[in-house]
Structure 1
């Protein structure tokens, strides 16, 4: 009888194939790692460190490249909040983000971005549809002493 891990590998391999990615050992290992933690936001450095702790031996550039391949395939969503500051989001469904500028914490907000009233005012032609919306709301503590 196959072990649970082997069955999990087979399921992840098939998922990667469906996304058009060859299920290499490295891709399968990272995909399982990312899928195991629920919805979260991770930098490439976070994923690299987590992979090392899990005993997955990969070069940082390999992790970085695989994260971008997963993003292109729709397995992850890339969230860029400013130049040089990128997260990979395991939640690829519709939602917004709230960024706490002080802590750097990025939080999901469950709302359909396509339902935003602002979008009703975009000058789109009849042959155009909204494919995706990316919204990052930045927050910080008020400075009430002023």
Structure 2
């Protein structure tokens, strides 16, 4: 039986290492977190998770989907990224007020933001220690701590 996504995704436009991406595993992963594995979710998940851990914006994923001839709207990309975040498959990072990045590694870790490139890069695990956090207000607890260190080239 042929995979129904075969007609939906133009495999010729995908890099060779992506062609073997196990779509059945992705479908199972979506079902395990309570999401129905629709064509669009599977296609976008395939683009997101097929390259290992990385950081993308909705616009970046939309461009990748367009290049791969996956027919989705930008609104669908945003909705899918937010759904994946809500179920713990992605982690959303607010770098500045205009752009949200989505990290395919949802574990707690810190980042460098390369300002000139507009790119997020994982910080080495040994790079930072957080101590002496203030006490959370009554009825609240600290859910996590994110550190984003902004980097730019030194001016000469």
Specify which of 108, 132, 144 is matched with residue 132 of structure 1: 144
Aligned residue in 2 for 1:57: 71
For residue 130 of structure 1, report the CA deviation from its aligned partner.
3.9
Of residues 128-137 and 86-95 in structure 1, the stretch that sits farther from structure 2 once superposed is 128-137
TM-score, with structure 1 as normaliser: 0.80
Whether contact under 8 Å (2:65, 2:71) holds in the other structure is yes
Aligned residue in 1 for 2:86: 72
Specify which of 136, 141, 153 is matched with residue 141 of structure 1: 153
TM-score, with structure 2 as normaliser: 0.76
Structure 1 unmatched ranges of 5 or more: none
Matched, 1:87 2:101: yes
Note closer, same or farther for the CA distance 1:70–1:112 as it changes in structure 2 (3 Å cut).
farther
> 1:87, 1:140 → 2: CA distance?
18
Specify which of 27, 34, 41 is matched with residue 27 of structure 1: 41
Q: CA RMSD in A?
A: 2.9
Note closer, same or farther for the CA distance 1:75–1:116 as it changes in structure 2 (3 Å cut).
same
Whether contact under 8 Å (2:108, 2:146) holds in the other structure is no
> 1:83, 1:51 → 2: CA distance?
25
For residue 124 of structure 1, report the CA deviation from its aligned partner.
4.7
> 2:57, 2:35 → 1: CA distance?
21
Whether contact under 8 Å (1:95, 1:113) holds in the other structure is no
Give CA deviations for 1:31-53 in whole Å, capped at 9, x if unaligned. Answer: 11111111111111110111121
Matched, 1:105 2:93: no
